[in-house]
Amino acid sequence: MSANEPALLEIENLVTEFGGGKAFLGKQQPIVRAVDGVSLQLKPGQALGLVGESGCGKTTIAKTALGLVREKAGTMRLEGRVVSGLAPKEARAARATIQYVHQDPGAALDPWWSIGHALDEALRIHGVSDKSERTTRIDDMLHAVGLDPSFRTRYPHELSGGQQRRVGLARILVLRPRIVILDEPTSGLDLSVQATVLGVIDELRRRFGLTYLFVSHDLSVVERMCEEVAIMYLGRIVEIGPTKEIFARPQHPYTRALLAAAPRLEPGSLNDTPALPGDPPSPTNLVSGCTFRPRCAFAAPKCAEARPPLRTIGDKHSAACVRLEEIGAPTPA
Amino acid sequence: MLIVKKFLRDFPAVLGLLIITAVCLIAAFAPLLIPDADAVYFGNIIDRLKPPSAEYWFGTDNLGRDVFARVVMGTRGALIVALTVVALAIAIGVPAGLYAGYTNGWGSELIMRVTDVFLAVPQLILALAIAQLMGRGLESAMAALALTYWPFFCRTVYGEVRRVRNALFVEALQGLGASTSRILFVHVLPNVASPIIVRATIGMGFTILTTAVLGFLGIGAAPPSPDWGLAIAESREYLPESWWAVTFPGLAILITVLGFNLFGDGLRDLVDPRLRRSR
Amino acid sequence: MTRFVLRRLLLALPALFGLLVLTFIMLRVLPSDPSAALAGENATPEQIAAVRKAYGFDEPIWKQFVIYVGQVARADLGNSIISNRPVASDIAWRLPATIELTFAALLFAALVGIPLGTMAAVWHNSPFDHVMRVVTVGGLAIASFWFAIILQIVFSMDLGWLPLRARYPDGVPPPTEITGLYLVDSLLTLRFDQFWASFKHIIMPAFTLSLGGLASIARFTRAGVLETMQKDFVHYAEAAGYARKRIIWVYVLRNSVVAATTQIGLLFGTLISSAVAVEAIFDWPGVGSYAVSAILTSDYKAVLAVTLIVGVIYAVVNIIVDVVHAMLDPRVAETL
Amino acid sequence: MMMGEKPAPVLEVRDLSVSVGTDEGEARILDNAGLALMPGSIHGVVGESGCGKSTLIRAILGILPKRGRATQGSIMLGERNLLDLPADALQRDVRGRAIGFIPQDPFQALNPVFRVGTQLLETIRGIGNESREAKKAHVISLLKAVQLPDAEHALDRYPHQFSGGQRQRLLIAAALAAAPGIILADEPTTALDVTTQLQILKLLRGLALERGLSMLFVTHDFGVVAQLCDTVTVMYAGQTVETGPVAQVLKAPSHPYTQMLLACHPERAKELAGIPGAVPSPLRPPPGCRFNPRCPSARAECSAGQPPRVAPQPGHAVRCVLHLDEAAA
């Protein structure tokens, strides 16, 4: 993927907010800014990882990109065409080539209908009227995700976690999307099942030239699956760049803490890794300037002044911290 | 089918079903069970207040009428009234609940406020008032019962639709671009149908009970109708000697309502979609 | 907490307003000629005309409504056709009798129903559970008026242990009026003889009334306890070494009772409904029997007044239930 | 203890088999499971879902489901076999007293309608005869030991007023309340974010060292085992297939299942392929070694009898025929 290839998906300064309503005479519900000015690009055939802890807004970005949630501000261009600023119904239509695989695919299937029917319906909704074409496409897709066509007559509750994930994939793949948003595709899966599902995801990307937005909290999975990764904290991207580069030389203090905290297969690394103090704060009461400074070991007065911009520090590698130089090289993990 | 196997293991539910079928058969073939039809309405005074005997299985009431014949004919009346009331209540309550549950404009707010108002007054009190204002008689009693029972269906459906609407698979369907009506009728309704069926079954029993109360108070069926509630009210003065004229209609109510309650209870456990559709 | 109570009261206003609109519509729409209905069956044309003027039936509809609301505000719900006394005072005088009966029934139903339901859940699928299930389903299927008559036959006609009817022995002065509840007033005035007399009179009606309530409280307590037993904090309590008895009777029971409080609010409604028949059978001088006599004499004003006042009581009870529920469940009080 | 002789384990499970009655028949969930917890050490138990690790925990604590029972083997707490203790003795003297328990999901483990103080004091109810005030002070000192912010007022607040990490600290304090010698933790950090998880793991290690506790740490995440544990037991389908020092097992996994499992980890996976086949159902377990239907180097005798216990290195034991030849050679 050469650098100057036009981006398939461009998102600029995306803002999404929840709450703000007021129950009759009840307390004023606080406005939660789940996504606070996020920009990112997706190149054709690329896999971009969105990583961060709960409440960082990674799933909200995914749902806003898909069009299920309406963005408060920011623009979004799909293959050059502006698709933002629409009500959810039109937004979904304009972004038909983006599809979404839910974190719990079992719950994303109607318990009353068989797998075959669910896949068939996806095609009918997208206007594939000819019955035989639908059947062949369904069989191909079940085969592509490693499921025997006999699964057509099975029901969601009869499937194992791994099988449900594959049906979730098959269900959107029959629509031949260009961009697939994967929301925590491996959470809750055992190691061996996770490996098979990741294998299928990898294989499908290669075979159908898909582009992935890969949302996850599992760093080792993202390191293995995505060329580029964006680290999220409280609705903002704090660091973005090539996965290899970021995992080798993390710049932003939060990225360093996150990578250090992630369990590795090397024994005995507990004693020398400092734990990040405090809990991930709620996005309702954001502090001024850099929102990570209450927990940052390198916080200084200037961190509170303004929101740190994403500064480029290497080939497509940038981080949002005003004290990058002063912090210097990352301490050996 | 797994569902049939699980149902047969639940003895009380099966008992409930047996009772209901028996009651329906009695109601349907009532004339065959009673040798002469007019024994229901005319009895000879000399046979007045006779205890149960070979000739009069349930004895006779104060007008000498055969209690057994009246109880049998009463079954038909009770079922017809209950079916009409529940059907009317469903016809009004379910669409209202479906609409209010799925949309969230002012329309849905209005429907739910109206439901709250109806539910703000104990059902029987409201039914009494409506029945009286519409003029006494069985028809106005039935209208009153239906008018005060539809909110229960509306609220049940509203809750179920709201639950299903927020379910992930509805969001996934929206993600696929499915139209609202398709989601509503192809996906939401089947998931909501089961609680309605359970509610309807329990509702049948409940309505029979309430109709009997109206009959007892003299607001529902008027003499000489063989209504169970009315029969109890009429033969109350001749206690404790002629206990049979009071006991048997009461037992009829008990067994019929018990049947519907047991069957409805059993249905509630079977509502789980996993059982309904798998091999 | 007061904020929560205030908010809950204000929330009840729309419901009460709705009640006003409902009763207004019922009176204007349902009967063919409202003024003839109000004036009573054998009223003279002049009386009917007087009623039409008083209620402003020929005025535009909204004006009629204003008049109606004015009347309700002044508690002037018209006079009863038979007693010719203001309907509102009739009902007010009879209210304590119904409240005492329904509360006695509810108390009995809860005190017996909750332990029964809990035991049925703890010994899940045991013989006790099955018997309990049949008894409760049966309890819900029994017509209260029929059961009352059976009780009368057995306990007063045959055995003569309990009085057949009425709330207090005839010709004997009732307890001095403090709260209007005989049982409470007699205790307050330490008149145990009066307490015993009132108690003997209330047993059968209260027990009949409580049957349905007891069955449903037992059922939803059983369901609530069963559901709570699956919760993680019960497994944790077991693993952390809590004594089994305490797990059930302190931790699990409190959770399911908290959940049950809202159900008890709804239950109160069904209790008042069945009180109508029960009061009629036992000649209990409450609002229920008054409603029945009003209906049989087609005294529309009385019937509407009962609907209105019972609606208000029911709203008050639901507010009390919600407040109790908020006090029991810390998470609820905080969110409002 | 004589010189050179290994110290006796504080808790030892020997050849434990547990089966639970279900509608479809007897589910033989544990089959000859064995492990030993050394004094002052943190021993990991790792395995995928369905490997029987939570049944093992319930067996140790004596809270097997109604239709579950141990069909063979023993669970030695010092000299006492827990399987022989009556239910009330297990509740009074073992659960909470000898063995402290830390649950998996802090959001669900605390009872929402009770104050935190009531629940924490419950574990030391009827222990010692100090006044309620003294017990409260004791609990507050524990809350400080687990670094819970604003410990003094924590007891009067309700569970929903704490974050996930704080709730897990409360539960750790509860587990330590009766000063047990052994802590049994059931995936205590699985429901937490990575940075909070690190805080809790460091806290657990600190407390274990400070208070000389032995800890049995059950998880499905090999990375957490690597971070925290000294020794580990790998479980598959109710059998304890491999046990040894964590460094040893990670560097040179000996049992075919452990090898294939580690090969699935994203850090090590060359090509992302899982383990062919599926975990056998405990209703119809394969005879002998339960991994043999999926094992690439399975032999005839693998399905004949129980796989032998073989120790390729001291302290590193494997239940597999393959290593019989090495040990013999």
Of D61, D103, D126, which has the smallest distance from its Cβ to C232's Cβ? D103
Tokens found for residue A6: 């036009």
Using one digit for the tens of pLDDT, what is the confidence trace for B136-195?
Answer: 788 888 998 999 999 999 998 998 888 888 888 888 888 777 888 888 888 888 888 888
Q: Same domain, yes or no, for D314 and D242? A: yes
Omega before B226 within 30 of 0, i.e. cis? no
Q: Same domain, yes or no, for D173 and D184? A: no
Q: Same domain, yes or no, for D129 and D170? A: yes
Task: Examine residue D201 and state whether it is found in any structural domain, yes or no.
Answer: yes
Give residue D4's pLDDT: 54
Give residue A332's pLDDT: 47
Give residue D246's pLDDT: 94
Contact present, D170 and D116 (Cβ < 8 Å)? yes
D98 to chain C: closest CA residue: C241
Residue C303 to residue B218, Cβ atoms within 8 A: no
Cα A269-A275-A278 angle, rounded to 5 deg: 160
Domain of D42, CATH number, reads: 3.40.50.300
Q: Same domain, yes or no, for D92 and D220? A: yes
Residue C336 to residue A24, Cβ atoms within 8 A: no
Contact present, D35 and D47 (Cβ < 8 Å)? no
A27 to chain C: closest CA residue: C336
Question: How many C-beta atoms surround the C-beta of residue C306 within 10 A?
Answer: 28
- A86 and chain B: CB distance < 8 Å anywhere? no
Q: Between A and B, how many CB-CB pairs are < 8 A? A: 63
- Does residue B125 carry a pLDDT above 60? yes
Omega before B35 within 30 of 0, i.e. cis? no
- Which has the higher per-residue pLDDT, D140 or B2? D140
Q: Same domain, yes or no, for D187 and D79? A: yes
Question: How many C-beta atoms surround the C-beta of residue C261 within 10 A?
Answer: 18
- Which has the higher per-residue pLDDT, A188 or D98? D98
Task: Examine residue D1 and state whether it is found in any structural domain, yes or no.
Answer: no
Within D17-163, where are the H helices?
53-61, 87-89, 106-109, 116-122, 132-145, 151-154
Q: Report chain A residues whose CB lies below 8 A from the CB of D274.
A: 162, 192-196, 199
Q: What's the half-sphere exposure (Cβ side, CA atoms, 13 Å) at A303? A: 20
CA distance D250 to chain C (A): 31
Q: Please, which pLDDT band fits residue C67 given cuts at 50, 70 and 90?
A: confident
Q: Is A298 exposed, middle or buried (0-12, 13-18, 19+ CB in 10 A)?
A: middle
Give residue B276's pLDDT: 47
Task: Examine residue D3 and state whether it is found in any structural domain, yes or no.
Answer: no
D68 alpha-carbon distance from chain centroid? 19
Q: Same domain, yes or no, for D184 and D302? A: yes
Q: Rounded distance, CA C218 to CA C224, Å?
A: 10
Q: Same domain, yes or no, for D48 and D139? A: no
Task: Examine residue D243 and state whether it is found in any structural domain, yes or no.
Answer: yes
Q: Please, which pLDDT band fits residue A2 given cuts at 50, 70 and 90?
A: very low
* Domain end position, chosen among D134, D154, D178: D178
Q: Looking at residues C178-195, what average pLDDT do you find?
A: 87
- Domain of residue D229 covers 11-98+180-328
Residue B128 to residue C26, Cβ atoms within 8 A: no
Using one digit for the tens of pLDDT, what is the confidence trace for A186-229?
Answer: 888 888 888 988 998 999 999 999 999 999 999 999 999 999 99
Q: Rounded distance, CA B128 to CA D15, Å?
A: 72
Q: What is the DSSP letter of A296?
A: -
Q: Report chain C residues whose CB lies below 8 A from the CB of B118.
A: 22
Using one digit for the tens of pLDDT, what is the confidence trace for A127-179?
Answer: 888 889 888 888 888 888 888 888 888 888 888 888 888 888 888 888 889 99
Within chain C, where are the H helices?
2-29, 34-39, 45-55, 61-73, 87-122, 127-141, 144-151, 182-188, 192-229, 232-239, 244-246, 253-281, 287-296, 300-328, 330-335
Q: Rounded distance, CA A103 to CA A249, Å?
A: 30
Q: Helices C253-281 & B123-133, crossing angle to 10 degrees?
A: 30
Give residue A87's pLDDT: 82
The interface pTM score, or ipTM, of the predicted complex is 0.81
Q: Same domain, yes or no, for D213 and D317? A: yes
Chain B: list its partners (3+ Cβ pairs within 8 Å): A, C
Q: Rounded distance, CA A239 to CA B168, Å?
A: 31
Give residue C334's pLDDT: 65
D202 to chain A: closest CA residue: A270
Task: Examine residue D289 and state whether it is found in any structural domain, yes or no.
Answer: yes
- Does residue B279 carry a pLDDT above 50? no
Using one digit for the tens of pLDDT, what is the confidence trace for C210-232?
Answer: 998 899 899 888 888 988 888 88
* Domain end position, chosen among D123, D143, D178: D178
Taking alpha carbons only, the member of A53, A64, A33 closest to residue A233 is: A53
**C124 φ/ψ sector (left φ>0, alpha ψ -120 to 50, else beta):** beta
Continuous segment of H or E residues that includes residue D33? strand D25-37
Taking alpha carbons only, the member of B3, B8, B77 closest to residue B40 is: B77
* Domain end position, chosen among D153, D178, D203: D178
Residue D245 φ then ψ, to 5°: -60, 140
Question: How many C-beta atoms surround the C-beta of residue B222 within 10 A?
Answer: 14
- A205 and chain D: CB distance < 8 Å anywhere? no
Give residue B275's pLDDT: 47
Q: Same domain, yes or no, for D140 and D282? A: no
Give residue B277's pLDDT: 45
Taking alpha carbons only, the member of D321, A185, D269, D313 closest to residue D260 is: D269
Whose tokens are 């004036």? That residue is C39
Q: Strand pairing of A81-82 and A98-101?
A: unpaired
Task: Examine residue D227 and state whether it is found in any structural domain, yes or no.
Answer: yes
Contact present, D98 and D76 (Cβ < 8 Å)? no
Cα C26-C27-C31 angle, rounded to 5 deg: 95
Cα A90-A94-A99 angle, rounded to 5 deg: 105
Q: Same domain, yes or no, for D94 and D137? A: no
Q: Same domain, yes or no, for D159 and D259? A: no
Give residue D327's pLDDT: 55
Q: Rounded distance, CA B193 to CA D116, Å?
A: 42
Q: Is D183 exposed, middle or buried (0-12, 13-18, 19+ CB in 10 A)?
A: buried
Give residue D1's pLDDT: 40
Give residue C333's pLDDT: 62
* Residue of B174, B176, B192 for testing the chain A interface, max A β-carbons within 10 Å: B176
Ordered by start, the domain boundaries in chain A are 9-44+60-95+229-240+248-327
Q: Which of residues 31-90 of B touch C (CB under 8 A)?
A: none
Task: Report how far apart, in Å, the C-alpha atoms of C56 and of each of B214, C29, C31, C49, C67 are.
Answer: 33, 15, 16, 10, 7
Using one digit for the tens of pLDDT, what is the confidence trace for A72-123?
Answer: 999 999 988 898 888 877 888 888 889 888 888 888 888 888 888 888 888 8
Contact present, C308 and C25 (Cβ < 8 Å)? no
Sheet with A317-319: list strands edge to edge: A98-101, A179-183, A211-216, A47-51, A228-233, A236-242, A317-319, A311-314
Whose tokens are 């104990």? That residue is B122
- Count of domains in chain D? 2
